[in-house]
Amino acid sequence: MTKAPNILLFLTDDHAQWAMGCAGNSELCTPTFDYLAQNGTRFANAFTPIPVCSPARACLLTGRLASQHGIHDYLASGDPEVNNISWLANETTLAQLFQAAGYQTGQFGKWHLGQDEFAAAGYDEWFSLGRDYPIPHGGPFRYGVNGRFQTLSGRISHNITEHAVDFLRERDSERPFFMTVGYYATHSPWEGQSERLAAAYRNATFADVPLNEMYPFGIQNLESTNETRHQPREALAQYYAAVTEIDTAVGRLIDELESLGQLENTIVIYTSDHGLNTGHHGIWGKGNGTLPLNMVEESIRVPLIWYDGRSPGSITQPARTEFVDHLDTFLTILDVAGIAPPDKNYVGRTYQRLLHNQTIPEWRAVQFGEYGNVRMLRTSRHKLVSRYPDGPHELFDLVADPREMNNVIDRGDMQPIVQAFVERLDGFFTRYEDPAKSGLRVRDLPRHNTSEAWRTG
């Protein structure tokens, strides 16, 4: 009988798709990510279904759209009204499915799905950032440790990693494990990183980041108004340092697995909740970095690497170019572990065959997205952004205009494309959304925070 594989899922906060050496960044030092990509599978067109923290995490952990699970914006974890809601009460998560299949489960790092100090259903071991999320990234700060608060000094990445290492060392070695690790270092305010790492980037050219452009379809919002935007080179040095810090932390866990003799039966998946702009389009942040909310490429693209310790480097292939997202990754994780998903209206599709250098007939050539009452449809050529009910709406030609500077939605020759896209977008959500949790009625749903664009913008 084949031994069940261990699953190590990294779900980092605000790690942009472009921010890795293996993704083409010429100055970032990311030896761990580069190694995993070289000896595994990297997806060049991986997307988030929604470009903001909490709902994107819920999408990956439940395999369901925001308009199915009902979380449409980041959750203000320090707000009692928000924190007391059981946001995932009616959903089934990866952790619950793996626990039911006999796996030992653990969550380490950022959770950001409500009630952060308490272990969510399906987790045997719990170590999370407390409700007073740390800004900046030093300490001491509160963490939720199996239902109680613990104040710890030291860097957040280090504390997360050490607790994850303890889990690996102390767990029942007769059982497979499923663990989620959520690093935080790449989150704003892009300051306070390790000086030894930030110093290494202060003389960088940052040539991979276009800093002399301005997104003409909105005003700056939230993180885009932080003081750090006025010192872009220093902010970039801090962000690059954060990426390298996370790369080092991931490597620490890979080394620990190897030393324990567990790597050879472990599948490692690295991704982030959503993308990030660090001056791209003049934006500092993600989908809520502008008003109205944006769906620019840097906001919706995520890194995605699979590494299979059972056969490292046995299949070498260039980066996969198929469109995949968190909803597909949910089903693929279950598929590689041989666990059947519940009988629910899932949007995604397993891409396990792509991990083995195979093709999948009729794989989709379109990516859908949403953020509250904003919805998106993207093909390899065009992107439609519809803001319900009254706009403004946008259509971009991503081949002629890859920086998304020219809205061509009113051009006469584009009307057949607009009509077809609108019909397909509406048909998609009609098929999959839960009407009671639809983003189109987000003003009637529970409040997530005090800066929701549909209430304030």
Mean pLDDT of the chain: 94
pLDDT, tens digit, for every residue of 54-107? Answer: 999 999 999 999 999 999 999 998 888 998 889 999 999 999 999 999 999 999
Residue 351 confidence class, pLDDT cut points 50, 70, 90: very high
Which burial class, exposed, middle or buried, applies to 118 when counting CB atoms under 10 A from its CB (0-12, 13-18, 19+)?
A: middle
Percent of the chain residues past pLDDT 70, beyond the cut = 97
DSSP labels for 16-63? -TT-SGGGT-SS---HHHHHHHHTSEEBTTEE-SSSSHHHHHHHHHH-
Q: Give the pLDDT of residue 313.
A: 79
Helix axes 31-38, 232-259, angle to 10 degrees: 60
Distance of alpha carbon 348 from alpha carbon 350, whole angstroms: 7
pLDDT at 134: 57
pLDDT of 315 over the 90 cut? no
Please report, rounded to a whole number, the percentage of residues in the chain having pLDDT higher than 90: 86
pLDDT for res 420:
98
Helix (H, G, I), strand (E, B) or coil at 210: coil
Full set of structural domains in the chain with CATH: 6-357 (3.40.720.10)
156-170 vs 232-259: helix crossing angle, rounded to 10: 10
Contacts of 225 (CB under 8 A, 6+ apart): none
The candidate with the shortest Cα–Cα distance to 151, out of 181, 121, 117, is 117
DSSP letters along 239-268, please?
HHHHHHHHHHHHHHHHHHHHHTT-GGGEEE
| pLDDT digit string, tens, across residues 330-340 | 999 999 999 99
Nearest to 440, CA basis, from 58, 54, 57, 67: 67
Q: What's the pLDDT band for 135 if we cut at 50, 70, 90?
A: low
3-state secondary structure of 202: coil
Res 132: pLDDT = 56
Tell which residue, 184, 264, 253, 179, has the closest CA to residue 8: 179
Q: Which sign, positive or negative, has the C-alpha torsion 351, 357, 358, 363? A: positive
Q: What is the pLDDT of residues 358-403, one digit of tens each?
A: 999 999 999 999 999 999 999 999 999 999 999 999 999 999 999 9
Confidence of residue 292 (pLDDT cuts 50, 70, 90): very high
Per-residue pLDDT, averaged over 324-346, amounts to 97
Task: Tell how strand 374-378 and strand 367-371 pair up.
Answer: antiparallel
Residues whose CB is less than 8 angstroms from the CB of residue 4 and which lie 6 or more positions away in sequence, other chains included: 101, 102, 103, 176, 337, 338
pLDDT of 116-129, one tens digit each? 888 999 999 999 98
- Give me the pLDDT at residue 133, please: 59
Mean pLDDT in residue range 306-318: 86
Residue 183 C-alpha from the chain's centroid: 11
Confidence of residue 456 (pLDDT cuts 50, 70, 90): confident
Q: Which residues pair with 284 in a beta bridge?
A: 278
Q: What is the pTM of this model?
A: 0.97
pLDDT the model gives residue 114: 87
Mean pLDDT confidence for 207-226: 92
Over the stretch 240-271, which tens digit does the pLDDT of each residue have?
999 999 999 999 999 999 999 999 999 999 99
Burial label for 400, CB within 10 Å (0-12, 13-18, 19+), is exposed
Write down the number of H helices and E strands in the chain.
12, 19
Q: Among 181, 340, 166, which residue's Cα sits nearest to residue 269?
A: 181
Residue showing tokens 């796996």: 103
* pLDDT, tens only, 409-452: 999 999 999 999 999 999 999 999 999 999 999 999 999 999 99
Distances from the Cα of 37 to the Cαs of 42, 204, 245, in angstroms? Answer: 5, 24, 18
**For residue 134, what is the DSSP state?**
-
Which residue type does 443 have? R
